[in-house]
């Protein structure tokens, strides 16, 4: 097993530029949650010049709608959701200084281009491992739009959150690279 790159939020351009598709990352610090309903509200809030409920510069948004916390835990199962549902909103947030997104699945060419232009990365988290991932979350607090239930915006404190870089700021795409390697071996 390779050694994961340890990063702590907020992330800098230097942090982002050092990453390549396929790198394993251990992320610690504060991250925020948001799924499609929250992203829609974020963009509406920006359109109305009301600002965002979270500090966007240097931050990471995790595409998750966690289950309720069982007794003795800060959060329930917290597996990633499909990232494509946020693709309509992500480039705008990236342009404002968002440095990382965590989810599962492919991203649109617009998101990949925004990552390249503004120095942002898309991290993959392991789908189906929500209970295991939740062990990396040591604090959780709803900070906006509580009416959205699991999709409310949360501030999470994470310790050694296991991730892999899918799309880097240099145009690298782990999914495309994986397909190419497979095609060559047939």
Q: Give yes or no for residue 185 having a pLDDT over 70.
A: no
Tell me the residue range of the domain where 178 lies: 5-185
**Which CATH number characterizes residue 154's domain?**
3.20.130.10
pLDDT in tens, 115-132: 999 999 999 998 777 888
Facing residues of 156 across strands? 31, 140
**b/e per residue 161-176 (b: at least 16 CB within 10 A):** bbbebbbbbeebbbee
Q: Give yes or no for residue 181 having a pLDDT over 90.
A: no
Domain count, the chain: 1
List the one residue out of 38, 48, 50, 49 whose CA is nearest residue 147.
38
pLDDT in tens, 82-111: 999 999 999 999 999 999 999 999 999 999
Q: Under a CB-based contact definition with an 8 Å cutoff, are residues 40 and 18 in contact?
A: no
Supply the Cα-derived Rg of the chain in whole angstroms: 16
Q: Residue 119 has which token pair?
A: 């120095």
């Amino acid at each position: 097993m390779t050694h994961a790159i340890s990063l702590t939020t907020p992330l800098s351009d230097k942090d982002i530029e050092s990453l390549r598709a396929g790198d394993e990352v251990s992320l610690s610090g504060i991250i925020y949650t948001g799924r499609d309903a929250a992203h829609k509200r974020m963009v509406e809030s920006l359109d109305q010049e009301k600002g965002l409920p979270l500090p966007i510069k240097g931050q990471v948004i995790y595409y998750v709608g966690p289950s309720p916390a069982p007794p003795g835990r800060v959060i329930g199962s917290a597996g990633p959701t499909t990232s494509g549902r946020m693709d309509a909103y992500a480039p705008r947030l990236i342009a404002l200084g968002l440095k990382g997104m965590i989810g599962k699945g492919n991203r649109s060419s617009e998101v990949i281009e925004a990552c390249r232009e503004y120095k942002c990365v898309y991290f993959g988290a392991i789908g189906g491992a929500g209970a295991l991932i939740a062990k990396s979350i040591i604090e959780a607090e709803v900070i906006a739009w509580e009416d959205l239930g699991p999709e409310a915006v949360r501030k999470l404190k994470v310790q050694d959150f296991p991730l892999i870089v899918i799309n880097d700021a240099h145009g690298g795409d782990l999914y495309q690279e994986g397909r190419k390697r497979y095609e060559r071996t047939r």
